[in-house]
Structure 1
Amino acid sequence: MAHYTHDSAIVDEGAQIGDGTRIWHFVHVCGGAVIGKGVSLGQNVFVANKVVIGDRCKIQNNVSLYDRVTLEEGVFCGPSMVFTNVYNPRSLIERKDEYRETVVRRGATLGANCTIVCGVTIGEFAFVAAGAVVNRDVKPYALMAGVPARQIGWMSRYGERLDLPLSGEGEARCAQTGETYLLSGGECQCLQQ
């Protein structure tokens, strides 16, 4: 099985693209990019050279993935969300040697129009609300909202809010899957993994 590329898309020679990936209208994939299986790149997506996209990610319209961004398996990037790669950009100062690595762990969701400031790690199955600005690392399963983003809760792997306190100890079940989540020492984990 091969991948699908719309006629208006540009895929530079050397790009590695997995089976079943769909590359839609006006997408540009640079030659050094590595894209997994079953990925969807929506209209007007840009993928730079030093980008790795894991299997089954969904990148919605108008998202640019710049150098040093890594998405693990199953990451969702909402429409028009933003990644940066230089912390303090200036047009008159060259800073290409200062790109900071951004890692988005397995299953995380980045909501529409959110901004991920470079140099952070978004934990697995974390959920960043639409319009939020993330400027520090995010814990696994954390629900983040606001400018700057702060944690307002916990989310299940299914994408449902969990009835857990922000800190301390607790246990909750996902209403959709029945999976059990344990909060201990300020960290949340799914017991069914």
Structure 2
Amino acid sequence: MAGLQFQVHESSYIDDGVSIGEGTQIWHFCHVLTGSQIGTQCRIGQNVVIGPNVSVGNNCKIQNNVSIYNGVHLEDDVFCGPSMVFTNINTPRSAFPRNRPEDNLQTHVRRGASIGANATVICGNEIGSFALVGAGAVVTRDVPAYAVVYGNPAKQHGWACECGLVLTCDANVVKCKECGRGYEIQNDTLTPVTPSF
């Protein structure tokens, strides 16, 4: 695929009907299936499968050994750690294929969220914006925006800043020690304070 505005390693396969944005790099042994859309400036590690019909936003980083199946949607700036898993069918059986729409639940990963290595996201759940899912976590329900979750099943253990630092929350208004962004905690929700203090 020489001359294109993105890079694909010669060992990878890109099916017809795929859209790949400028500056994206796809490394060894990957397969992007028909109908998938990958945004600009993405980094796709080795042995990644995307699709069919998957949407990946701009500036996403998908590390080695991740499969993103039909029904998964990644917004901009999402990080998927090495060998993390998205399931795509709620009740899989080899002898009884699940082809009904209600069996293939949608999974949304919102802008800026990070999912740690070896985590598993059960289909039909949403990872909120800038949420931080710890390594090895098993996500069985929606994760709020900015939440820090880990464990099996994953439970919330705090809040994260947009920059990724885990916040120290000893009041209803908190400030990130690294970047200075401000937030307010109200009704189990973290909301950015504009302007930050």
TM band (smaller chain): over 0.9
What is the TM-score with the length of structure 1 in the denominator? 0.96
Q: Give the CA deviation at 1:192.
A: 4.2
Structure-2 residue corresponding to 1:38: 41
What CA deviation, in whole Å up to 9, does each residue of 1:45-96 have, x standing for no partner? 0001121000000000000000010000000000000000101111111102
d(CA) in 2 for partners of 1:51 and 1:63?
Answer: 13
Code of the residue aligned with 1:30 in structure 2: it is: L
1:143 counterpart = 2:148: yes
Contact conserved, 2:137 with 2:153, CA < 8 A, in 1? yes
Structure-1 residue corresponding to 2:174: 172
Q: How many residues align?
A: 190
**Helix, strand or coil for the counterpart of 1:96?**
coil
Question: Which residue among 59, 84, 106 is the counterpart of 1:101?
Answer: 106
CA RMSD for the aligned pairs? Answer: 1.2
Contact conserved, 2:17 with 2:34, CA < 8 A, in 1? yes
1:81 counterpart = 2:55: no
Q: Note the residue ranges of structure 2 that are not aligned, 5 or more in a row.
A: none
Q: Give the CA deviation at 1:191.
A: 1.9
Q: Note the residue ranges of structure 1 that are not aligned, 5 or more in a row.
A: none
d(CA) in 1 for partners of 2:194 and 2:161?
Answer: 11
**Helix, strand or coil for the counterpart of 1:143?**
strand
Structure-2 residue corresponding to 1:52: 55
What CA deviation, in whole Å up to 9, does each residue of 1:121-153 have, x standing for no partner? 110000000000001000000000100000001
Q: After TM superposition, what 4+ stretches of structure 1 lie above 3 angstroms from structure 2?
A: none
